[in-house]
């Protein structure tokens, strides 16, 4: 998309003076769930202000997106990532179809403390289209056998019923004793992310991301795996009150 070797001025970008990276031919889209041409339009609308992609892409406000598939989160040595994203990379987060889909849907639910000022793309087909475009600038699974295939996420999306659960704050306070052995009620962040004041839905999505294996931290996966939907909702309600 953006091919200049330096960060481009916003006016130049919006003028469309630079050619888009080549899109794969129809025969190369056999495994794609989305349309990379529509994904290019979404990239221009939502991503191009911060991220470059294409033959001469460089890091700008955000890291470049070339060869994003199978890249570890926070892996580019010449870009200064947020502490939250670097920490997730240390935990083992890798950009796959599944994790990219979750991050695009709700960045802060997958990566606590991310600096990416993007509220998320709720339209599922839109995410498929955008990921198909990103795949066009990464290793193609049909050409490189060891590359991770383009596939639907294995885990189901959370149901509206789970997201709508009203948590019991008192029950959440009781359950929180185990959480606060590491996470501070004060909201202090000394190497362990703060979780106070989170919007309850973000908290719920994050905990289910651990349960489903999208977030890679093994201890948190174990802790989240012990909790049922009502317990997660209760914790979400309690920790939200601590930020008031």
Fold of 10-136: Cytochrome Bc1 Complex; Chain D, domain 2 (1.10.760)
Percent of the chain with pLDDT over 70: 78
| CB-neighbour burial class of residue 35 (10 A; exposed 0-12, middle 13-18, buried 19+) | middle
What is the four-CA torsion angle of 188, 237, 155, 193, rounded to 10 degrees? 0
Segment 40-56, tens digit of pLDDT: 999 999 999 999 998 88
| CB-neighbour burial class of residue 129 (10 A; exposed 0-12, middle 13-18, buried 19+) | buried
What pLDDT sits at residue 182?
Answer: 86
In this structure, whether the domain defined by 160-241 belongs to CATH 3.40.50.300 is answered with no
Q: Which of 129, 141, 137 is nearest to 34 (CA)?
A: 129
Segment 57-96, tens digit of pLDDT: 999 999 999 999 888 999 999 999 998 899 889 989 999 8
Average pLDDT over residues 9-20: 31
Is the Cβ–Cβ distance between 98 and 154 less than 8 Å?
yes
Q: Do domains 10-136 and 160-241 have the same CATH topology?
A: yes
What pLDDT sits at residue 16?
Answer: 32
Average pLDDT over residues 192-221: 85
What pLDDT sits at residue 171?
Answer: 94
* Residues with Cβ within 8 Å of residue 126, at least 6 apart in sequence: 38, 42
Instruction: Return the half-sphere exposure (C-beta side, CA atoms, 13 A cut-off) of residue 214.
Output: 26
Q: Rounded CA gap, 149 and 63, in Å?
A: 23
0.85 cut: is pTM over it? no
List beta partners, residue 94.
72
pLDDT exceeds 60 at position 143: no
Q: For the chain, which residues make up each domain, given as ranges?
A: 10-136, 160-241
């Amino acid at each position: 998309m953006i091919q200049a070797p330096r960060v481009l001025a916003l006016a130049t970008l919006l003028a469309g003076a630079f050619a888009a990276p080549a899109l794969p031919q129809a025969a190369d889209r056999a495994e794609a769930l989305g349309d990379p041409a529509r994904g290019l339009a979404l990239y221009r609308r939502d991503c191009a202000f911060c991220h470059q992609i294409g033959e001469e892409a460089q890091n700008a406000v955000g890291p470049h997106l070339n060869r994003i598939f199978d890249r570890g989160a926070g892996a580019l040595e010449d870009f200064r990532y947020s502490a939250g994203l670097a920490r997730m990379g240390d935990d083992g987060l890798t950009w796959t179809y599944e994790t990219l889909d979750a991050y695009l849907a709700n960045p802060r639910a997958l990566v606590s403390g991310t600096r990416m000022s993007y509220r998320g793309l709720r339209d599922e087909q839109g995410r498929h289209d955008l990921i198909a475009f990103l795949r066009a600038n990464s290793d193609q699974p049909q050409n490189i056998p060891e590359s991770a295939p383009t596939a639907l996420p294995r885990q189901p999306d959370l149901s509206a019923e789970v997201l709508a659960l009203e948590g019991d704050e008192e029950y959440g306070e009781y359950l929180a004793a185990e959480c606060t052995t590491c996470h501070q009620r004060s909201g202090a962040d000394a190497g362990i992310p703060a979780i106070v004041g989170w919007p309850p839905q973000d908290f719920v999505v994050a905990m289910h991301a651990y349960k489903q294996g999208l977030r890679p931290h093994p201890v948190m996966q174990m802790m989240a795996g012990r909790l049922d939907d009502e317990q997660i909702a209760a914790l979400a309600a309690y920790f939200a009150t601590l930020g008031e």
